[in-house]
A = this chain, B = another copy of it.
Amino acid sequence: MNDAGEGREPHKGSASLSPSQQDYLKQIFLLNDASQGATTQLLAERIGVRPASVTGMLKRLAEEGLVERAPYRAVHLTETGRRIAVEIVRHHRLLEAFLSRTLGYRWDEVHEEAEALEHVISERFEQKVAELLADPDRDPHGDPIPTRELALKEDEHLTTLALLPKGSRGTIRRVTLQDQDALNLVERLDLLPGRAIEVAGTHPDGISLLVGGSRFLVPALLAAHLLVDVAPHPSSAQPKTREGTGRPVAHEQ
């Protein structure tokens, strides 16, 4: 008469996939989303495995109809694959918001924990958290949280700080970094989402910034990962210039 609890709930569809498989789908999605092209090598770096392992896994995912793939080319998600990937991104960002707001995690601590939890929480957990936080639409890094229906709003009006010309004003909206040291630096410089900034000058090695009275240099590497809203105050009558040239470098969850 003992049962010991089998697994049985099919959730939405992300069940039955191993955490590893989920990770691959997520990273393919994030790379494509950042218009980077999900190449074998980039995936290997993001996931932390060797390129050969990526090839192997992509074959398996292709067989299951989750990705489309031609040898030596970048992969793409099928509709099914995309749904699962977005689901996981939702888990991740919702968890980040939760860890930060409810459990009092520091800004730079949330990513790692969410990374572990995202593959494991149930549909119910997701819903309860969303409820508790009143359906948040941003995680602590400013990344948009996909809705329950898996719609993901894109931040078309955001620009990489690295590309802003001298004199621009704006508000930091997203910080697309996950490296602990880099996050610490961002925090020390007080460049968290919501911060109003002004570009005092551009240099080959970075951007000179005017923020809260003081002026300092943001290294180019960092600047590429700070996404700025250039029409922050409704007062400024700028009609959303739409400068979608350079690819935003974002690689993040």
Which residues of A are in contact with B by a Cβ distance under 8 Å? 1-6, 44-48, 99, 102-105, 109, 111-113, 115-117, 120-122, 124-125, 128-129, 132, 178-179, 221, 251
Contact = CB atoms under 8 A, between A and B. Distances in A.
Nearest to A2: B45
A5 B178 contact: yes
Given A109-B124, A124-B105, A45 B4 contact: yes
B121 A6 contact: no
26 contacts: A1-B221, A2-B45, A2-B48, A3-B48, A4-B48, A5-B48, A5-B111, A5-B112, A5-B178, A6-B48, A99-B125, A102-B102, A103-B125, A103-B129, A103-B132, A105-B124, A105-B128, A109-B124, A112-B122, A113-B121, A113-B124, A113-B125, A116-B121, A116-B122, A117-B121, A120-B120
Contact of A5 (B44, B109, B115): B115
Given A5-B178, A47-B4, A128 B116 contact: no
A109 B9 CA distance: 13
A2 B44 contact: yes
A199 to B, nearest CB: 24
Contacts of A115: 5
A250 to B, nearest CB: 13
Contact of A116 (B44, B46, B120, B179): B120
